[in-house]
Chains A and B, each alone.
Chain A
Amino acid sequence: MTLNQDRIERPLTREEQIALKNKRTGITVFQISWILVFVCLVVVYFQLRSEQVVWPPAGVQPAALLPGLLATAALFASAALVWRGLKTARAGHLHGLMQQWLVALALGVAFVVIAGAQWSAMSGDNAYGMVFRVMVGYHLLHAIVIAIYMAAVLRSVRTGHVTVRDLWPAEAGARLWYFVVAAWVLFFVPLYLV
């Protein structure tokens, strides 16, 4: 067995298993914690809303639903591809992961473009616009940073730094992308539906 093969095929040592378990628990706790910042913004939204007689304030146009729905659909589709890509990689096909994630990233970019367009079209000079811009802007920031991380993972897959033996970077990217979806749902409901 060559050194490289050994790196790819050797089963995880006990230390590596513990490290992986730690990373999984760590990212879960982090997600539980960080989603609460989004919950906090939802609370802010409802409190501001409760203090207004009409919502959005008179003369202010709410964000259009259709682009919002489109963005949401793109995000959900991308998450499904991210999930499938990871599954394929776990079955030993890194090539499949590359393909699926590339499409997922393209969908992610579509999400950012649509939501970004709504963000920039919204005026922040009233309570509704202000909270909309902060919520969507905050979410977009996460989506962009995590998408960049996922692109970096893809690069590592291509250069052979992420292997089937240790898929943690890809798994982390996937979990973070699901987080982006969950956080968006949390915002989408009050901003567009309720």
Chain B
Amino acid sequence: MATIAQPLPGTRIEQPKPGLQIGKYFRWSVDHKIIGVQYLALAFTFFIVGGTLAMGIRWELLTPATDLMASGTAYNQLFTMHGTIMIFLWIIPALAGFGNYLVPLMLGAKDMAFPWLNALAFWMIPPAGILLILGYFAGQAEAGWTAYPPLSILYSPGNGQTMWAVAIHLLGLSSILGGINFIVTIRNMRPEGMGWFDMPLFVWAVLATSIIIVLATPFLAGALTLLILDRVAGTSFFNPANGGSVLLWQNVFWFYSHPAVYIMVVPAFGMLSEMLSIHSRKPIFGYRAIALSSLAIALLGFLVWAHHMFTSLTPALRVPFMITSMIIAVPTGIKIFSWIATTWGGRIRLNSAMLFSLGFLSMFVIGGISGVMVAAIPFDIHVHDTYFVVSHFHFVLYGGTVLAIYGGIYHWFPKITGYMLNERLGKWHFWLTWVPFFFTFFPMHMAGMLGMPRRVAVYAPEFQALNQVISISAFVLGLSTFILIYNIVWSLWKRKVVAGPNPWRALTLEWNTSSPPPAFNFYGDPVPFRDPYGYGTKEAWDYLKEQAQELGPSYPANQPPEKAHPVALAPAAGD
């Protein structure tokens, strides 16, 4: 057993606790850590809003007739806002939050390349969110999150649809600014001597995502500009009656939105790589393959957009897009197998972070398989616009990304706050999420294959039994979120269980500074070690000691590493 040269994590302390200074999270700040938390907190708030709307959807669908909603239009508005909020105000900003908090720490940098721009990108989100929601008072957007014309131009009379487009425009701009900042930070702010393949896989994932953001989001900006002009300036880009084209929107929108699907999932892949290896107490399997497959996904993501339009696409183009869509399963498969190999034979620590990571693996694989199914043209034509599709993307976005975000919260909360979350509550949270999740979304496959269309408030009575199972599971799923909220509030309120710098005995750089980290992240300039997952090993210690003699004191200023054994095998929080 290794000697632990610091208080064991999870130790209870009774000393006076430093104040949490909540106020600073409500103010303009250029510190990437504060901005990271601002992103996460704001996104989570919107998650609650979007989740409440989801409960409204499921309440409405308990019976085949309209009951909660006054009309079909009100239902359209409901799912439009649910989808839009979940995508643009929850998933994307939440992942940006993790990126902001972690990337500089993982690189050993003091901050992002452009701290001011970073703050600006964040502060564009609240007004956009408010604008979106205020649309309620102006005739809410009702054309779905995809805003297909002619629905979004000719049949959405309220100004809410225009406000929707302006809000998404702002959010897209914020994303682009964030993406630029990440690319520059990752390229230029690595300490001397840290090569590309010395970066943790989360950083690779953020890099790939940022490349997608800067290359794809401008297309959304272009399309939205035209949509806004069609709505307010009398142009008719999307109105065939005056020389426009409805397919034009679909092409440009999906040219952004399919790559955007990877914006919503690749950072979660990165988080998973970190969590699975740390909690399996094993080095990550296939580091380079995982890193490069993120880039491959980023690239291939641009070649598949028309699979969303199989039913309206020129038949000759269907097969090429089917092939590219199938090919994209390859780099994703590489990751999945590498993760399984990482856990294989590991001394797995089944804590909340690991449970959610495994939850991701299980559900994301189902979403991936149904993805390959809908990539097959004949099958897609059968289930297009049915609940099968709703099921597929919730498996990917919720079963995948949201579970990874939950895992990430349990994993990095100790670093961010200096305190542990309650593990027992975490496990309750996991089981009450994972099981109801499955029963909410899996039966939607069946409803879809049996022919239940999506985006309808009224459905054929034979689907009622399935819909009741779905709705009841959804209510449990919705309620389970409050366990996490309670856990966070309780932990921050009581502040009983200190985390220490490295509660998980992790080997990446961010765990080699105090929790929470000081203003400039590290005490001194960290010297990089060639293995991004090797900080804390004996080898790293010897090497870095040597470097410190030459370059002056640097790493790890506050955490003497283990004498002879890898830190990873030492007892950790919850052991």
Contact = CB atoms under 8 A, between A and B. Distances in A.
B211 to A, nearest CB: 9
Given A25-B183, A43-B252, A33 B214 contact: yes
A41 B242 CA distance: 18
A36 B176 CA distance: 12
Contacts, number: 93
Contacts of B225: 37, 134, 138
Nearest to A127: B243
A37 B222 contact: yes
B288 interface: no
Interface residues of B, number: 36
B123 interface: no
13 contacts: A25-B184, A26-B113, A26-B114, A33-B179, A36-B218, A40-B218, A40-B222, A47-B247, A51-B240, A51-B243, A52-B243, A127-B244, A134-B229
Q: Top 7 A-B pairs ranked by shortest CB distance?
A: A127-B243, A40-B222, A36-B218, A33-B214, A22-B113, A37-B218, A25-B184
B169 to A, nearest CB: 11
A44 B226 contact: yes
A88 B332 CA distance: 52
A124 B235 contact: yes
Given A25-B184, A36-B219, A47-B248, A134 B243 contact: no
B108 to A, nearest CB: 14
Contacts of B41: none
Given A25-B188, A40-B223, A34 B218 contact: yes
Contact of A48 (B215, B217, B221, B248): B248
Contacts of A36: 215, 218-219, 222
Interface of A: 18, 21-22, 25-26, 29-30, 32-37, 39-41, 43-44, 47-48, 51-52, 57, 124, 126-127, 130-131, 134, 138
Contact of A44 (B117, B215, B222): B222
Contact of B244 (A48, A57, A124): A48
Nearest to B234: A124
Given A40-B218, A44-B222, A130-B237, A22 B188 contact: yes
A49 to B, nearest CB: 10
B184 A33 contact: no
B180 interface: yes
Interface string B148-175: 0000000000000000000000000000
A131 B221 CA distance: 16
B235 A40 contact: no
B45 to A, nearest CB: 29
Per DSSP, chain A at the interface is helix
Contacts of B226: 44, 134
Interface string B190-215: 00000000000000000000000011
A107 B266 CA distance: 46
A37 B242 contact: no
A39 B114 CA distance: 27
Given A25-B187, A26-B180, A40-B222, 18 more contacts: A18-B189, A22-B114, A22-B189, A25-B113, A26-B114, A29-B180, A33-B214, A33-B215, A33-B217, A35-B218, A36-B218, A37-B219, A44-B226, A47-B245, A48-B245, A127-B242, A130-B235, A134-B237
Of listed B117, B189, B214, B247, residue having the most chain A CB within 10 A: B214
Contacts of B219: 36-37, 40
Contacts of A130: 235-237, 243
B243 A126 contact: yes
A169 to B, nearest CB: 16
A131 to B, nearest CB: 8
A16 to B, nearest CB: 13
A132 to B, nearest CB: 11
B251 interface: yes
Nearest to A41: B222
A69 B391 CA distance: 54
Contacts of A57: 243
A133 B554 CA distance: 59
Given A21-B188, A41-B222, A29 B244 contact: no
Contacts of A39: 218
Contacts of B245: 47-48, 51
A44 B237 contact: yes
A30 B240 CA distance: 34
Given A40-B219, A130-B235, A134-B235, A33 B248 contact: no
A130 B225 CA distance: 13
Contact of A32 (B214, B217, B240, B243): B214
A103 B363 CA distance: 63
Nearest to B222: A40
Contacts of B113: 22, 25-26
Contacts of B237: 44, 48, 130-131, 134
A26 B235 contact: no
Interface string B249-287: 001100000000000000000000000000000000000
Interface string B450-487: 00000000000000000000000000000000000000
Contacts of A21: 188
B252 A44 contact: yes
With most chain B CB atoms within 10 A of its CB, the pick from A33, A35, A36, A57 is: A33
Q: Which of B184, B234, B244 has its CB near the most chain A CB atoms (within 10 A)?
A: B184
A138 B222 CA distance: 10
Contacts of B114: 22, 26
Contacts of A127: 242-244
